[in-house]
């Protein structure tokens, strides 16, 4: 998660590469040839010229946070700046990109060739890769905006601004796109100060284009907000139109949207954000819009507004459905009171004014929706600002006047609709052809933009970010913090504490609501999902506050141990300790923020929290906190693998299958993400724990479908079933889990003639094995096994590995391939709506999926349905999860088999 996101300087980052992919070739940049899912893409003109990414290559290694991309054949200038200049605020979007060098991986290339991942692209043009930064300024401070543009040379276009000379002139015919009234008003000023011309884009067209992009391309973009409760609404792209778009800027425009490029402005009102700010400045002397909103948080409008209860003696007017607290007349009490302006509290005035304008906009919006028979109304614009009371007031008005038939919805990226639409009007980025599964949202820490003011350049340098974090804690009054600050040393979590409020949002609630959107063209929807539209990866719902509090406590208690491991993985240096402290502060701040507003980052599930932790580690350059532990456990497990294989080969077929499943369940105990398991590690060696676990594997298990799986594998009586054609094995932990559990199971499937694909993480997470580590583990295991040796050679895993075999390779051993692919993520969990293109290719011929481990088969995908046979295996290592999910106890086992649906 990113810091341009933790604050007002929220930026969207769009990467034309998979940051989770640590090694990429040109094949990774360009998508494989496959028709898009129906209704999943955003229409665009195929005639537009696009960025030339031929020969594109990633530069650097996986330890670089933001590796650059080299585009050797790109010659056209790419415009990098678009603005929406309103009467109150300037919204600015600028694009940045980097440059890079190529990495080659022979094993990965060979597996891709076998799986048929080609250079072909489903598009006739590539997509521009990089980052989109979102910034705002008060229009009255336009000179600050111009200074900012000039300091970063954004008007010159091109590469990373840090590479430009400060006096670099713009090209003679430089043009930037802008919309809003200020595009006309300030055109001469832009020419005079920056030497660029403004190309004015139609405001309504930009608003609609920006809204359509957000609603189609971002999964959790729209939400409702009633009485402080935010609930995300999943929009079916095939059922998006028609809708009413209400953009609340200085004034209000209401637009009926019937499709891409099909819309009409049907109404509006001059009573909008400018009215609120203008009257607010006159009546309260506030110096900024945010200050006025903050003031309203402490207000009581009943001292100024005439309520229904004031007219009817404190009673409701129930006959017509009006409660005593309903406003009968905004500012109505001031008529009969002999008071001057100074006698009223500014906060009461601010709240009364906010309610008056919000109710008015909500009512007019509903009446227009009624006029055209629209049930769906989206509100956007910087008037809303993520402010809870504003959204509640608008929602109440729509619900009241529609009697619940219509629904007010809001956008997480509200305020930047026009600027985003203006940016999309450039014809060289392909931004309007994204699919929802290509976008991954993260929330980094650190914020240079506070309240519309610029406090330095974006924090791209790690040292800058750590320094900012230290100031963030030390000078909470000078730098706006994303969470309430506690006195130093009150928690042990870096000075942050979980706030006591349960749903009251601050006026700056939007400052953490927009994340960094990475565009990853190589991500796809897992083809074997029975119904991708109804698929929900999270099995733990954190909407219940008690559930949320429990898991936050678990993550907090595990934090100190994780920091110790992370620092040790980097040699325990002073630099590592400083980064470890910064990570602890940042992650604690995220937890506190989410405890205060669980929906701040979108729909929240346990999988999201676990992924957030891993992203936060990587942000502070801890790329594999358990590296040393994993190596040690792999070596210990490989040492005893030959004895285990001899034991398995001595068993009958049915006993061997049972022992293999027992072995997977027993080995799954090795999980450094579980406090109970960490405690076990201090009581014995990995092999001792494994043997102890094996002895406790007696059936029946808590969830026990072994007999059904055995019948599918071995048949019944004389009836022998056909072996599966290809099995996808989603592996979990390093050490005994992969070496003594999943590899022997893979070996059995290979023995039966089934192709096996081991699916592992793209990036490290806890002690999970990664796709980069697996080939070397397989190569070591293959030294002791002919079956693994032949299959690994057939699958291209031994291209770069040591090839000597201790017991001799039998040339006549028939071999089906054993392959390794990355899953596209770096988390203990997996969301099958976003997997790597090579996993999607491997899945096309697969008829068996085996999901192993708590993260992949319990936290996520326990309820997932597949088009093929599925086996879900895990040992439950958390008491609460055991009770909630399988109605059992810690160390209970799950063997859930589900035939193809």
* Domain containing residue 230: CATH number: 3.30.420.40
pLDDT at 443: 74
pLDDT at 172: 62
Residue 364: in which H helix or E strand, if any?
Answer: helix 346-372
Q: Cα(6)–Cα(898) distance, rounded to whole angstroms?
A: 42
Q: Are 776 and 837 in contact (CB under 8 A)?
A: no
Per the structure block, which two tokens stand in for 870? 């599925």
Packed helices 774-782 and 627-649: angle between N→C axes, nearest 10 degrees: 40
CA Rg, the chain, in Å? 29
Strand-pairing partners, residue 896, are 872
Range of 174-183, 212-221, 586-595 with top mean pLDDT: 174-183
- Note every long-range contact of 884-891, with CB atoms under 8 Å and residues 24 or more positions apart, other chains counting: 884/540, 885/539, 885/540, 885/858, 886/702, 886/703, 887/702, 888/702, 890/676, 891/669, 891/676, 891/696
Q: Cα(784)–Cα(644) distance, rounded to whole angstroms?
A: 11
Same domain membership, residue 248 and residue 390: yes
CA angle 777, 875, 886 (to 5 degrees): 150
Distances (CA, A) of 241 to 208, 244, 882: 12, 9, 43
Q: Cα(258)–Cα(240) distance, rounded to whole angstroms?
A: 9
Domain of 386? 218-410+461-499
Same domain membership, residue 634 and residue 495: no
- Stretch 594-607: mean pLDDT, rounded? 85
Per the structure block, which two tokens stand in for 891? 């160390």
pLDDT at 518: 63
**ω before 700 within 30° of 0 (cis)?**
yes
559 within domain boundaries: no
Burial class (CB in 10 A: 0-12, 13-18, 19+), 889: exposed
- Stretch 823-851: mean pLDDT, rounded? 95
Confidence class for position 820, pLDDT limits 50, 70, 90: very high
760-809 per-position pLDDT tens digit: 999 999 999 999 999 999 999 999 999 999 999 999 888 654 444 444 44
Q: Cα(201)–Cα(550) distance, rounded to whole angstroms?
A: 50
Chain CA centroid to CA 543, Å: 18
Q: Cα(811)–Cα(799) distance, rounded to whole angstroms?
A: 18
Range of 16-20, 64-68, 401-405 with top mean pLDDT: 401-405
Confidence class for position 420, pLDDT limits 50, 70, 90: confident
Per the structure block, which two tokens stand in for 318? 């129930």
826 within domain boundaries: yes
- Stretch 638-651: mean pLDDT, rounded? 92
pLDDT at 263: 96
Confidence class for position 434, pLDDT limits 50, 70, 90: low
Residue 473 pLDDT > 60: no
- The pairing of strands 407-411 and 376-380 is parallel
Choose between 9 and 398: higher pLDDT. Answer: 398
Complete edge-to-edge strand list for the sheet that includes strand 243-248: 229-232, 222-226, 407-411, 376-380, 243-248, 252-259, 262-269
Q: Cα(743)–Cα(895) distance, rounded to whole angstroms?
A: 18
Alpha-helix residue ranges (DSSP H) falling in 312-345:
333-336
Closest CA to 822 of 154, 92, 65, 28: 28
pTM metric for this prediction: 0.78
- Round the average pLDDT of the chain to a whole number and report it: 78
CB atoms within 10 A of CB 27: 19
Cβ within 8 Å of residue 813, ≥6 positions away: 786, 787, 789, 790
Residue 42 pLDDT > 50: no
Q: Dihedral through CA 716, CA 719, CA 725, CA 728, nearest 10?
A: 0
40 within domain boundaries: no
156 within domain boundaries: no
Chain CA centroid to CA 720, Å: 46
Confidence class for position 497, pLDDT limits 50, 70, 90: very low
Cβ within 8 Å of residue 242, ≥6 positions away: 256, 257, 258, 259, 372, 374
Q: Are 427 and 76 in contact (CB under 8 A)?
A: no
User: Which of 480, 499, 518 is the last residue before a domain boundary?
Assistant: 499
Scanning the structure block, which residue is given the tokens 């063997």? 895
Same domain membership, residue 631 and residue 494: no
236-250 per-position pLDDT tens digit: 888 899 999 999 988
Backbone angles phi, psi at 198, to 5 degrees: -100, 125
Domain count, the chain: 2
CATH at 687: 3.40.50.10880
Backbone angles phi, psi at 227, to 5 degrees: 50, 45
682 within domain boundaries: yes
Q: Are 402 and 485 in contact (CB under 8 A)?
A: no
Residue 511 pLDDT > 60: no
Same domain membership, residue 475 and residue 335: yes
134 within domain boundaries: no
701 within domain boundaries: yes
Q: Cα(721)–Cα(711) distance, rounded to whole angstroms?
A: 9
Residue 708 pLDDT > 90: yes
Residue 68 pLDDT > 50: no
CB atoms within 10 A of CB 247: 31
| For the chain, the helix, strand and coil percentages under 3-state DSSP, each to the nearest 5 | 40, 15, 45
Residue 827 pLDDT > 80: yes
Closest CA to 3 of 464, 469, 446, 457: 446
pLDDT at 489: 28
190-223 per-position pLDDT tens digit: 999 999 999 999 999 999 999 998 898 888 889 9
Strand-pairing partners, residue 699, are none
What percentage of the chain has pLDDT greater than the value 90?
Answer: 45
Backbone angles phi, psi at 16, to 5 degrees: -80, 5
Which segments within 587-678 are labelled E, that is strand? none
Confidence class for position 671, pLDDT limits 50, 70, 90: low
pLDDT at 455: 37
Per the structure block, which two tokens stand in for 29? 């940049």
Residue 643 pLDDT > 80: yes
DSSP 820-842: EEE-S--SSS--TTSEEHHHHHH
169 within domain boundaries: no
Q: Are 20 and 825 in contact (CB under 8 A)?
A: yes
Cβ within 8 Å of residue 733, ≥6 positions away: 667, 668, 670, 671, 672, 766, 767, 768, 769, 853
Q: Dihedral through CA 406, CA 407, CA 408, CA 411, nearest 10?
A: -140
């Amino acid at each position: 998660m990113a810091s341009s996101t933790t604050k007002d300087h929220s930026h969207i980052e769009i990467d034309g590469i998979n940051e989770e992919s640590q090694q990429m070739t040109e094949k990774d940049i360009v998508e494989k040839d496959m028709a898009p899912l129906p209704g999943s893409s955003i229409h665009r003109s195929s005639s537009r010229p696009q960025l030339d990414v031929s020969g594109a290559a990633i530069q650097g290694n996986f330890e670089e946070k933001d590796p650059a991309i080299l585009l050797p054949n790109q010659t056209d200038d790419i415009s990098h700046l678009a603005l929406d200049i309103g009467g109150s605020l300037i919204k600015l979007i600028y694009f940045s990109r980097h440059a890079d060098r190529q990495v080659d991986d022979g094993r990965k290339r060979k597996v891709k060739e076998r799986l048929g991942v080609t250079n072909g692209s489903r598009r006739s043009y590539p997509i521009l890769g990089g980052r989109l930064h979102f910034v705002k300024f008060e229009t009255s401070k336009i000179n600050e905006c111009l200074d900012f543009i000039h300091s970063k040379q954004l008007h010159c276009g091109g590469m990373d601004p840090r590479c430009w000379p400060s006096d670099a002139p713009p090209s003679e015919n430089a043009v930037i796109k802008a919309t809003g009234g200020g595009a006309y008003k300030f055109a001469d000023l832009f020419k005079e100060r920056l030497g660029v011309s403004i190309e004015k884009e139609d405001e309504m067209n930009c608003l609609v284009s920006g809204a359509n992009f957000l609603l189609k391309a971002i999964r959790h973009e729209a939400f409702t907000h009633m009485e402080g409760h935010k609930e995300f609404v999943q929009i079916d792209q095939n059922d998006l139109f028609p809708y009413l778009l209400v953009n609340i800027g200085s004034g209000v425009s209401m637009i009926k949207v019937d499709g891409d490029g099909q819309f009409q402005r049907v109404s509006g009102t001059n009573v909008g954000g400018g009215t609120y700010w203008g009257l607010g400045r006159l009546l309260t002397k506030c110096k900024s819009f945010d200050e006025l909103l903050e003031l309203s948080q402490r207000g009581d409008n009943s001292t100024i507004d005439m309520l229904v209860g004031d007219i009817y003696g404190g009673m409701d007017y129930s006959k017509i459905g009006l409660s005593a607290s309903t406003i009968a007349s905004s500012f109505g009490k001031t008529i009969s009171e002999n008071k001057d302006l100074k006698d009223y509290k500014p906060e009461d005035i601010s709240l009364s004014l906010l309610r008056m304008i919000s109710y008015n906009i909500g009512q007019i919006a509903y009446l227009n929706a009624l006029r055209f028979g629209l049930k769906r109304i989206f509100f956007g614009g910087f008037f809303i600002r993520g402010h809870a009371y504003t959204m509640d007031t608008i929602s109440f008005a729509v619900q009241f006047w529609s009697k619940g038939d219509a629904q007010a919805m809001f956008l997480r990226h509200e305020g930047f609709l026009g600027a985003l639409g203006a940016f999309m009007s450039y014809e060289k980025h392909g931004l309007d052809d994204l699919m929802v599964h290509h976008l991954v949202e993260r929330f980094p820490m650190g914020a240079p933009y506070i309240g519309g003011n610029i406090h330095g350049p974006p924090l791209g340098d790690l040292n800058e970010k750590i320094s900012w974090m230290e100031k963030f804690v030390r000078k909470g009054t000078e730098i706006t913090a994303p969470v309430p600050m506690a006195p130093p040393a009150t928690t042990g979590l870096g000075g942050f504490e979980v706030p006591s409020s349960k749903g009251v949002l601050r006026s700056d609630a939007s400052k953490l609501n927009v994340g960094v959107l990475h565009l990853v063209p190589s991500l796809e929807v897992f083809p074997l999902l029975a119904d991708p539209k109804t698929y929900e990866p999270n099995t733990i719902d954190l909407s219940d506050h008690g559930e949320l509090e429990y898991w936050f406590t678990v993550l907090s208690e595990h934090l100190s141990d994780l920091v110790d491991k992370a620092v040790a993985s980097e040699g325990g240096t002073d630099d590592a300790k400083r980064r470890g402290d910064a990570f602890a502060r940042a992650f604690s701040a995220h937890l506190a923020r989410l405890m205060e507003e669980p929906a701040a980052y979108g729909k929240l599930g346990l999988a999201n929290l676990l992924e957030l932790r891993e992203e936060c580690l990587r942000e502070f350059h801890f790329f594999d906190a358990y590296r040393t532990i994993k190596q040690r456990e792999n070596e210990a497990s490989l040492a005893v693998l030959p004895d285990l294989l001899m034991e398995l080969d001595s068993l009958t077929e049915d006993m061997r299958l049972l022992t293999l499943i027992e072995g997977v369940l027993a080995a799954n105990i090795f999980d450094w993400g579980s406090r109970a398991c960490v405690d076990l590690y201090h009581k014995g060696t990995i092999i001792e724990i494994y043997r102890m676990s094996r002895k406790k594997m007696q059936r029946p298990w808590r969830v026990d479908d072994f007999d059904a799986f055995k019948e599918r594998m071995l048949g019944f009586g004389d009836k022998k079933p056909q072996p599966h054609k290809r099995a996808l094995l989603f592996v979990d932990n390093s050490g005994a889990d992969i070496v003594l559990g999943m590899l022997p199971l893979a070996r059995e499937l290979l023995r039966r003639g089934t192709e096996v694909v081991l699916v592992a993480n793209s990036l490290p997470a806890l002690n999970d094995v990664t796709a980069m580590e697996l080939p070397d583990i397989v190569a070591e295991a293959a030294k002791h096994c002919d079956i693994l040796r032949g299959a690994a050679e057939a699958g291209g895993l031994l291209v770069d590995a040591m090839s000597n075999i201790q017991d001799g390779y039998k040339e006549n051993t028939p071999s089906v391939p054993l392959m390794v692919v990355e899953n596209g993520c770096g988390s203990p969990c997996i969301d099958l709506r976003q997997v790597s293109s090579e996993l999607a290719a491997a899945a096309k011929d697969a008829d068996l999926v085996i999901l192993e481990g708590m993260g992949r088969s319990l936290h996520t995908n326990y309820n997932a349905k597949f088009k093929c046979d599925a086996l879900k295996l895990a040992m439950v290592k958390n008491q609460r999860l055991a009770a909630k999910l399988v109605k059992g106890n810690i160390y209970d086992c799950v063997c859930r088999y589900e035939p193809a649906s």
